[in-house]
Structure 1
Protein backbone atom coordinates (compact mmCIF):
# COMPACT_ATOMS: atom_id res chain seq x y z
CA UNK A 1 0.00 0.00 0.00
CA UNK A 2 1.24 3.48 -0.85
CA UNK A 3 1.84 5.94 1.96
CA UNK A 4 1.73 9.71 1.44
CA UNK A 5 4.24 11.49 3.64
CA UNK A 6 6.45 14.57 3.26
CA UNK A 7 5.08 15.32 -0.23
CA UNK A 8 5.91 11.83 -1.51
CA UNK A 9 4.03 8.63 -2.23
CA UNK A 10 6.13 5.76 -0.92
CA UNK A 11 5.86 2.00 -1.16
CA UNK A 12 8.20 -0.94 -0.57
CA UNK A 13 8.07 -4.24 -2.44
CA UNK A 14 9.64 -7.58 -1.59
CA UNK A 15 10.31 -10.16 -4.31
CA UNK A 16 11.53 -13.74 -4.22
CA UNK A 17 15.07 -12.78 -5.31
CA UNK A 18 17.24 -10.10 -6.88
CA UNK A 19 16.50 -11.20 -10.44
CA UNK A 20 12.75 -10.76 -9.93
CA UNK A 21 13.24 -7.38 -8.21
CA UNK A 22 15.39 -6.21 -11.11
CA UNK A 23 12.88 -7.43 -13.70
CA UNK A 24 10.16 -5.47 -11.87
CA UNK A 25 12.35 -2.36 -11.90
CA UNK A 26 12.89 -2.80 -15.65
CA UNK A 27 9.12 -2.99 -16.16
CA UNK A 28 8.60 0.12 -14.02
CA UNK A 29 11.29 1.94 -16.02
CA UNK A 30 9.41 1.21 -19.26
CA UNK A 31 6.18 2.62 -17.83
CA UNK A 32 7.99 5.66 -16.41
CA UNK A 33 9.45 6.40 -19.85
CA UNK A 34 6.05 5.89 -21.49
CA UNK A 35 4.34 8.45 -19.28
CA UNK A 36 7.46 10.64 -18.80
CA UNK A 37 7.30 10.54 -15.02
CA UNK A 38 10.24 8.96 -13.23
CA UNK A 39 10.48 7.58 -9.70
CA UNK A 40 13.19 7.75 -7.10
CA UNK A 41 13.97 4.22 -6.02
CA UNK A 42 16.39 2.00 -4.21
CA UNK A 43 17.10 -1.69 -4.48
CA UNK A 44 18.82 -4.10 -2.15
CA UNK A 45 18.74 -7.77 -3.12
CA UNK A 46 15.00 -8.59 -3.27
CA UNK A 47 13.67 -5.30 -1.93
CA UNK A 48 12.63 -2.26 -3.96
CA UNK A 49 11.54 1.02 -2.39
CA UNK A 50 9.88 3.64 -4.58
CA UNK A 51 9.15 7.32 -3.88
CA UNK A 52 7.01 9.43 -6.19
CA UNK A 53 6.71 13.21 -6.30
CA UNK A 54 6.19 15.73 -9.09
CA UNK A 55 9.25 17.94 -9.31
CA UNK A 56 7.80 20.53 -11.69
CA UNK A 57 4.80 21.01 -9.37
CA UNK A 58 7.04 22.05 -6.48
CA UNK A 59 7.85 18.54 -5.21
CA UNK A 60 4.28 17.71 -4.29
CA UNK A 61 2.10 14.68 -4.92
CA UNK A 62 -0.03 15.17 -8.02
CA UNK A 63 -2.32 13.10 -10.21
CA UNK A 64 0.74 12.06 -12.21
CA UNK A 65 2.13 10.33 -9.12
CA UNK A 66 -1.15 8.55 -8.46
CA UNK A 67 -1.32 7.37 -12.08
CA UNK A 68 2.23 6.01 -11.92
CA UNK A 69 1.50 4.37 -8.56
CA UNK A 70 -1.51 2.58 -10.06
CA UNK A 71 0.57 1.38 -13.00
CA UNK A 72 3.30 0.17 -10.62
CA UNK A 73 0.71 -1.68 -8.54
CA UNK A 74 -0.54 -3.45 -11.66
CA UNK A 75 3.01 -4.55 -12.45
CA UNK A 76 3.59 -5.73 -8.88
CA UNK A 77 0.45 -7.87 -9.08
CA UNK A 78 1.94 -9.69 -12.06
CA UNK A 79 4.82 -10.68 -9.78
CA UNK A 80 2.45 -11.76 -7.02
CA UNK A 81 3.53 -8.89 -4.76
Structure 2
Protein backbone atom coordinates (compact mmCIF):
# COMPACT_ATOMS: atom_id res chain seq x y z
CA UNK A 1 0.00 0.00 0.00
CA UNK A 2 1.47 3.35 -1.01
CA UNK A 3 1.58 6.42 1.18
CA UNK A 4 -0.73 9.21 -0.01
CA UNK A 5 0.59 12.69 -0.67
CA UNK A 6 -0.47 15.64 1.48
CA UNK A 7 -2.55 16.87 -1.46
CA UNK A 8 -4.36 13.53 -1.81
CA UNK A 9 -4.99 13.36 1.92
CA UNK A 10 -6.41 16.88 2.10
CA UNK A 11 -8.73 16.19 -0.84
CA UNK A 12 -10.04 13.02 0.83
CA UNK A 13 -10.46 14.84 4.15
CA UNK A 14 -12.95 17.20 2.50
CA UNK A 15 -15.37 14.26 2.34
CA UNK A 16 -14.56 12.83 5.77
CA UNK A 17 -16.40 14.42 8.67
CA UNK A 18 -14.57 15.12 11.95
CA UNK A 19 -11.09 13.87 11.02
CA UNK A 20 -7.84 15.86 10.93
CA UNK A 21 -4.43 15.17 9.44
CA UNK A 22 -1.22 15.87 11.32
CA UNK A 23 1.93 13.99 12.35
CA UNK A 24 1.56 11.63 9.35
CA UNK A 25 -1.76 10.29 10.64
CA UNK A 26 -5.51 10.80 10.63
CA UNK A 27 -6.93 11.82 14.01
CA UNK A 28 -10.38 12.08 15.54
CA UNK A 29 -12.07 11.89 18.90
CA UNK A 30 -15.55 10.99 20.03
CA UNK A 31 -17.45 11.71 23.22
CA UNK A 32 -20.18 9.34 24.34
CA UNK A 33 -22.86 9.61 27.00
CA UNK A 34 -21.06 7.18 29.30
CA UNK A 35 -18.31 4.58 29.58
CA UNK A 36 -20.54 1.70 28.46
CA UNK A 37 -21.47 3.43 25.19
CA UNK A 38 -17.82 4.23 24.51
CA UNK A 39 -16.73 0.64 25.10
CA UNK A 40 -19.58 -0.64 22.94
CA UNK A 41 -18.40 1.56 20.04
CA UNK A 42 -14.81 0.39 20.55
CA UNK A 43 -15.92 -3.24 20.36
CA UNK A 44 -17.88 -2.63 17.14
CA UNK A 45 -14.89 -0.78 15.65
CA UNK A 46 -12.61 -3.67 16.66
CA UNK A 47 -14.60 -6.08 14.47
CA UNK A 48 -14.16 -3.77 11.47
CA UNK A 49 -10.45 -3.44 12.21
CA UNK A 50 -10.08 -7.21 12.23
CA UNK A 51 -12.00 -7.52 8.96
CA UNK A 52 -9.67 -5.00 7.31
CA UNK A 53 -6.58 -6.31 9.14
CA UNK A 54 -5.80 -2.69 10.03
CA UNK A 55 -5.66 -1.51 13.60
CA UNK A 56 -5.82 1.98 15.09
CA UNK A 57 -3.81 3.54 17.83
CA UNK A 58 -6.47 4.59 20.29
CA UNK A 59 -7.03 5.63 23.86
CA UNK A 60 -10.13 5.63 26.00
CA UNK A 61 -10.75 7.80 29.04
CA UNK A 62 -14.17 7.15 30.58
CA UNK A 63 -16.56 8.38 27.83
CA UNK A 64 -14.04 9.68 25.29
CA UNK A 65 -12.26 7.84 22.51
CA UNK A 66 -9.22 9.26 20.69
CA UNK A 67 -8.24 7.52 17.45
CA UNK A 68 -5.11 7.79 15.32
CA UNK A 69 -4.87 6.02 11.95
CA UNK A 70 -1.66 5.51 10.03
CA UNK A 71 -0.17 2.67 8.00
CA UNK A 72 3.15 1.89 9.64
CA UNK A 73 4.44 -0.18 6.70
CA UNK A 74 3.95 2.84 4.41
CA UNK A 75 5.16 5.31 7.04
CA UNK A 76 2.06 7.46 6.64
CA UNK A 77 -1.56 7.62 5.58
CA UNK A 78 -2.88 5.26 2.88
CA UNK A 79 -6.25 4.50 1.31
CA UNK A 80 -6.69 1.81 3.95
CA UNK A 81 -6.68 4.46 6.69
CA UNK A 82 -9.45 6.34 4.91
CA UNK A 83 -11.42 3.13 4.42
CA UNK A 84 -11.25 2.42 8.15
CA UNK A 85 -12.04 6.05 9.05
CA UNK A 86 -15.20 5.92 6.92
CA UNK A 87 -16.23 2.65 8.56
CA UNK A 88 -15.64 4.15 12.01
CA UNK A 89 -17.81 7.14 11.16
CA UNK A 90 -20.63 4.80 10.14
CA UNK A 91 -20.29 2.77 13.32
CA UNK A 92 -20.31 5.88 15.51
CA UNK A 93 -23.01 7.43 13.28
CA UNK A 94 -21.19 10.66 12.47
CA UNK A 95 -23.58 12.84 10.52
CA UNK A 96 -22.53 14.98 7.55
Partner of 2:28: 11
Gaps of 5+ in 2: 1-17
Partner of 2:82: 66
Partner of 2:44: 27
Secondary structure of the residue that 1:38 maps to in structure 2? Answer: coil
Q: TM-score, structure 1 length as denominator?
A: 0.93
Secondary structure of the residue that 1:61 maps to in structure 2? Answer: coil
1:77 to 2:93 alignment: yes
1:35-46 alignment, distance < 5 Å: 35-46=52-63
Q: TM-score, structure 2 length as denominator?
A: 0.79
Instruction: Give 1 or 2: higher strand fraction.
Output: 1
Which of the residues 49, 60, 70 maps onto 1:53?
A: 70
Gaps of 5+ in 1: none
Q: Which runs of 4+ in 1 moved over 4 A?
A: none
Say how many residue pairs are matched.
78
